[in-house]
């Protein structure tokens, strides 16, 4: 596997605030949210990282701060190497990140997806609508507090909802993925669907 070995020193010289991020494969940096656009543009223009391969986010749960980390993966089609950049959203309640649509037009949909799934707003995005869920959907499904079974929600179309008296229902994972939690007493570690993770110590909520 080839990696861009010169990149870490080059980036830390140019941007002292960018710190190395633990990574198992390619060079990775933690960058403050305010500088991320400059770093991305520098990598694109001076280190030939021409492809924005992926843009996503991680939710570290509400106890952590910063709660949301946005992650960019760049690929260089001439050097054939990757670089990963991560930036924590400063505000946990109303996370905002600068938009990279100005650098890569393809960031448009990727940022819409992150907004849709995590509720992270991208400042300067031309058209920040939901993309996979419907407009007006009230939840952000990839946040950790959102249950796997889903939450009951109204149908997108009020007229159809009134006519059919139907709604989006939660689908409990009856017989669903059974996962044991490692490192606990064996009684608790019994494999259960995560939505039904009750045991003798944690009784089932009625």
Binding site for other proteins (CB under 8 A): 1-2, 22-26, 28, 50-54, 56, 58-59, 71, 73, 75, 77, 80, 82, 84, 104-106, 108-110, 113, 117, 130-134, 141-142, 146, 148, 177-180, 182-183, 189, 191, 194
CB nearer to other proteins: give 53 or 96: 53
Hey, how many other C-beta atoms are within 10 angstroms of the C-beta on 40?
Answer: 24
Minimum distance between the CB of residue 25 and other proteins, rounded to whole angstroms?
Answer: 5
Task: CB nearer to other proteins: give 15 or 104.
Answer: 104
Q: How far is the CB of 96 from other proteins (least distance, A)?
A: 20
- List CB contacts of 203: < 8 A, sequence separation 6 or more: none
- The nearer residue to other proteins, 33 or 114, going by C-beta atoms, is 114
DSSP 164-180: H---BPP---TT--EE-
Q: Which is nearer to other proteins, 14 or 194 (CB)?
A: 194
Edge-first strand order for the sheet with 82-88 is 19-20, 28-30, 82-88, 68-75, 51-59
Burial class (CB in 10 A: 0-12, 13-18, 19+), 22: exposed
Smallest distance, other proteins to C-beta of residue 14, A: 23
Min dist. Cβ of residue 9 to other proteins (A): 22
The rounded distance, in Å, linking the Cα atoms of 25 and 176 is: 33
């Amino acid at each position: 596997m080839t990696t861009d070995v010169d990149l870490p020193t080059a980036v830390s010289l140019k941007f002292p605030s960018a710190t190395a991020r633990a990574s198992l494969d390619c060079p990775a940096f933690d960058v403050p949210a305010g500088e991320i656009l400059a770093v991305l543009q520098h990598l694109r223009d001076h280190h030939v990282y021409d492809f924005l391969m992926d843009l996503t986010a991680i939710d570290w749960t509400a106890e952590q701060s910063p709660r949301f980390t946005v992650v960019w993966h760049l690929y260089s089609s001439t050097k054939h190497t990757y670089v990963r950049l991560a930036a924590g959203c400063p505000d946990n309640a109303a996370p905002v990140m600068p938009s990279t649509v100005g650098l890569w037009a393809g960031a448009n949909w990727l940022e819409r997806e992150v907004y849709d799934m995590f509720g992270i707003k991208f400042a300067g995005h031309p058209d920040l609508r939901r993309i996979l869920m419907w407009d007006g959907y009230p939840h952000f499904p990839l946040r950790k507090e959102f249950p796997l079974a889903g939450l009951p929600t109204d149908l997108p179309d009020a007229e159809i909802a009134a006519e059919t008296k139907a709604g989006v229902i939660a689908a409990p994972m009856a017989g669903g993925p059974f996962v044991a939690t490692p490192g606990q007493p064996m009684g608790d570690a019994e494999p259960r669907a995560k939505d039904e993770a009750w045991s003798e110590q944690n009784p089932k909520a009625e």
